Structure 1
Amino acid sequence: MNDRKSNTGSLKDSEEDQPVVGDDNGNHPEDGYWLRSRDELNKEGVPYSEWDDSRMLVPSSLELGPGAVDRYVISKQIVRMQEPRRLTADDMDERRIIYPESGNRAMVNRFRDLRTKLLEASGGNNFTIVVSATNRGAGASFVALNLAAAFAFDQSKTAVVIDCNLREPSLHSTLDIMPETGLTDFLEDPDYDIARILYPTGIPRLRLIPAGSRRETPSEFFTSFRMKQFLQAVRRRYPDRFIVLDTAPITESPDARILSELCDYSMLVVPHGRVTPNQVEQAATAFNPQKFVGTVING
């Protein structure tokens, strides 16, 4: 990813993304992550899962002013986030997901470099970013997942990747997760508990929000006021969380354009050697130029 003056980046040695088949209770704030048993109910009568990190909600400096959030305490909370399962190195390699000890240093370093450039653009603040592609098979899901994984490398940061490709969701398959609910279920029900759609990925400090069970009219979900509220709430209440939205190709659906207006940044994934410069330019100009941070060449 380059700066906005040059909208062509490079992500060599990567292939197209191929989905793998497959307190209220007397707790001190520094205890951070509160474990709950599956049978314990919250105030809505919904069981808490073992990995429920929605209990980490804290006011942010956006709400209370600069310096209001003790980031040291937040970092201690993040370190103690529970992982009910862990993907092994072999699992990560098979799924082509980066991790700090990966032998594929070229791919790890390229995503780290991408992360660094985005942090420079944001002034080091957490943000929401839409990742879309010029066409199907370009690898937007691959880039979105690994970018989120790169942010989660930092033990004081967390990331969540949201599968907003409602027509062809793939992230749950790549991570070998069988979700019962997801984003659309949350958007349809104003009383839905966010804990029910946050899934552990097996990667430390990285969570997945899958597409959901109802996906007939994607644009209606994304233009809803509840979607706007959802993104604002997640960003404001998780001051150290980076949010990556994986969307359908910008040339095939209005979803990416709609979501980019709700997010801080947007990024375009281009398959190497499979589209013309004119096609890339047309796809890039579909985004708001004030939010467009550049392109990533995948292939």
Structure 2
Amino acid sequence: MNTVVQHPSHDELARRGRGRSLSLRHAAPSLTPAQMEERALIRRSAVARPEVDAFREIRTRLLAMTTNNFVALVAPVSAGCGGSFVARNLAAAMAFDETRSALLIDCDLRHPSQHATLQIDCAQGGLTDYLEDPDGQIEDVLYDTGMPGLSVLPAGGVREAGAEYFSSMRMRLMLDSIRSQHPDCYMFLDSPPVRGAPEARILADLADVVILVAGYGQDSPEAIAQAAANFDPEKFAGVVFNQGV
């Protein structure tokens, strides 16, 4: 899977009501097309858009690889190549389907960005807060994005290392619980870069499929090959070449 995607351009959001799979205590008003543009989110339109079609094509390929709802790891080769952009919009593309919902989980604990990009006030905490509190409830740290069917679990407090969090039993149980209780929910893990830290490899053990993101003109073929070698070939879905970040 070698796909080039660019930042979204202007198109219109198809805003039809739908039920939500997850129980969300932090509701948000529906986003306007302009607000989705500000948040670098793709949106449906009657007009064909190459960037939207690219994410839909990746979504179709991922669905063909699995038989049930899945956990997908989106791992950038290096910092600044657009891994968070790709993870966010793959989740958005999944939410286009009214029979499915998507949960975006920010796992970049050193440099979390999804809550800021999506302009979400995560005062109630996020992933690290939930994992550190044995009595915490997952509903407390799930946030509505304002896009139908798309919710986010922000990273929470900044942490220098995520290995202990991601290898914990509580992390695994959280993913298993969401998947079993919400069979229409697909989860996308926004990973730290593969190069320079072990977190992406640890998160890959929790995922069903792995998507590698390379910066178009930024990451060399050798760097991409080295990053891909970290993952189980049976889980590896392919490389997305991202440009315009």
- Deviation at 1:287? 1.1
2:23 corresponds to 1:53: yes
Aligned residues: 232
TM (norm. structure 2) is 0.89
Alignment partners' CA distance in 1, 2:115 and 2:200: 19
Determine if the alignment matches structure 1 residue 122 to structure 2 residue 31: no
Equivalent position to 2:3, from 4, 10, 13: 10
The C-alpha deviation readout for 1:69-106, integer Å capped at 9, x for no partner, is: xxxxxxxxxxxxx9531111011123321111286711
Q: Secondary structure, in 3 states, of the residue corresponding to 2:4?
A: coil
**What is the aligned partner in structure 2 of residue 90 from structure 1?**
34
- In the alignment, is residue 224 of structure 1 matched against residue 168 of structure 2? yes
Contact preservation (8 Å) 1:139, 1:269: yes
Residue 153 of structure 1 deviates from its aligned partner by 0.6
Q: 1:155 to 1:296 in 2, by over 3 A?
A: same
Aligned counterparts of 2:7 and 2:134: Cα–Cα separation in 1: 40
- SS of the counterpart of 2:218? coil
SS of 1:141's equivalent in the other structure is helix
Using CA pairs under 8 Å that are at least 6 residues apart, name the structure with larger relative contact order, 1 or 2: 2
| TM-score, with structure 1 as normaliser | 0.73
> Aligned equivalents of 1:52 and 1:85: distance in 2?
17
**Greater gyration radius:** 1
- Name the one with the larger strand percent: 2
Percent identity for Structure 1 against Structure 2: 43
Aligned to 2:89: 146
RMSD: 2.1
Contact kept in structure 2, 1:89 and 1:102, CA below 8 Å = no
Q: Which runs of 5+ in 1 are unaligned?
A: 3-8, 16-31, 34-50, 56-81
- Given the superposition, is the C-alpha separation of residues 52 and 157 from structure 1 closer, same or farther in structure 2, using an over 3 Å criterion? closer
**Structure 2: tracts of 5 or more residues without a match:** 9-18
Task: Say whether the 8 Å CA contact 1:161–1:244 is kept in structure 2.
Answer: yes
d(CA) in 2 for partners of 1:117, 1:193: 33
Matches within 5 A, 1:259-298: 259-298=203-242
1:54 shift after superposition: 5.8
Instruction: Give the 3-state SS of the residue equivalent to 1:230 in structure 2.
Output: helix
**1:169 paired residue number:** 112
Find runs of 4+ consecutive structure 1 residues off by over 3 angstroms.
Answer: 12-15
Q: Name the structure 2 match of 1:155.
A: 98
Question: Within 2, Cα distance between the matches of 1:137 and 1:255?
Answer: 17
